[in-house]
Amino acid sequence: MSLQDLTEGKIDFVGQLQVEQISRIWLISATIISFILGFALQSMQLTFGIFGISTVLLALVIVPPWPMFNRHPTQWLPAAKKN
């Protein structure tokens, strides 16, 4: 098994849309939460710590090709034969 096989992660188009939506909602929420907590406690370290941890957790959720992101595989047409 090569390194490319280990890092290759194929997901379908619907899964890509799900990943995009999860990323957008997660990052916006993490930004708001970390800003509010950092502002309330007057701590830039806390602000960036919360945002950094949430970004790492997001990467663990969306980077691996989980089966939930590959429920609708694309059915490609067969290759056309040349005359």
Residue 58 lies in a domain: yes
Residue 74 lies in a domain: no
Euclidean distance between CA atoms 27 and 41, whole angstroms: 21
How far is CA 8 from each of CA 23, 52, 82, rounded to the nearest angstrom? Answer: 20, 25, 32
Assigned domain for 41 exists: yes
Number of domains observed in the structure of the chain: 1
- What phi and psi, each to the nearest 5 degrees, are found at residue 60? -65, -30
pTM: 0.79
The answer to whether position 6 is within a domain reads: no
- Identify the domain containing residue 45 by its residue range: 13-64
Q: How much is the pLDDT for 1?
A: 65
Q: Are 38 and 47 in contact (CB under 8 A)?
A: yes
For residues 70 and 72, what is the distance between their CA atoms, to the nearest angstrom? 6
Look at residue 73 and tell me if it is in a domain. no
Whole-number pLDDT of residue 6? 64
pLDDT in tens, 15-74: 999 999 999 999 999 999 999 999 999 999 999 999 999 999 999 999 888 889 999 988
Query: Per residue, what are the HEC states of 49-76?
Result: HHHHHHHHHHHHHHCCCCHHHCCCCCCC
- On whether residue 69 sits in a domain, the answer given is no
19 within domain boundaries: yes
Domain membership flag for residue 5: no
